[in-house]
Amino acid sequence: MTFRTISQEPLQLAPLIDAVSHPAAGAVVTFVGLVRDHSEGLPITLLEYHAYEQMAETELRAVVAEVEQEIEGTRVAAAHRIGELQIGDRAVVCAASAPHRGAAFRACQLLIDRIKERVPIWKREHGPDGPYWVGWK
C-alpha cells in the first residue's frame, strides 16, 4: 500500500509506518522534519508552506515510485504539510521499509532528499524582519 500526501492537517507517523510494514520487511526507518526556531542564525516565529497541491501530489507520487523502483525490496511513504506551522510542528514525515536496515536507511534518505529537491512546495519564514520566501531573501 502506497501512502503519500500533501495535507493541511497535522502529520502522524503511524499511518506511514503501517503503509510500509509487511512480512518481508526486517527494518523500518523513519524521518520527521520539524519546524525549528531559527534559520541561518535568525529566530523564526512561524513557517508557512505553500503548494499547488495537485502538482505537488503528482511529483510526490513520482518520487515515491522512483525510490521503490531504485532500491529493491523497499516500500516508502511520505506526507508533507502545508499551511501555517508553529515551532515544533511536523513539516514532513517519511518512512521506508526493506528486508535489511541498510536499504531502509538509504531509501528513507533518498526519499527526503528528492522531496526537498523536486516537490514544488515553497517555504515562507517569519522572523524579526518580517516574513520572507526562502530562496528569495
pLDDT tops 60 at residue 134: yes
- Any domain includes 121: yes
Q: CATH number of the domain that 9 lies in? A: 3.90.1170.40
Total domains in the chain come to: 1
Tell me what the mean pLDDT of segment 45-66 comes to: 96
Whole-number pLDDT of residue 2: 56
- Any domain includes 58: yes
pLDDT tops 80 at residue 99: yes
Q: How many helices (H) and strands (E) does the chain have?
A: 3, 10
- Any domain includes 75: yes
- Residue 126's beta-bridge partner residues? 46, 131
- Any domain includes 134: no
pLDDT tops 50 at residue 1: no
- Any domain includes 96: yes
- Any domain includes 136: no
**Tell me: the pLDDT tens digits for 68-86?**
999 999 999 999 999 999 9
**Tell me: the pLDDT tens digits for 19-49?**
999 999 999 999 999 999 999 899 999 999 9
Element (H, E) at 13: none
- Any domain includes 135: no
Domain that holds residue 27: 3-129
- Residue 123's beta-bridge partner residues? 49
- Any domain includes 44: yes
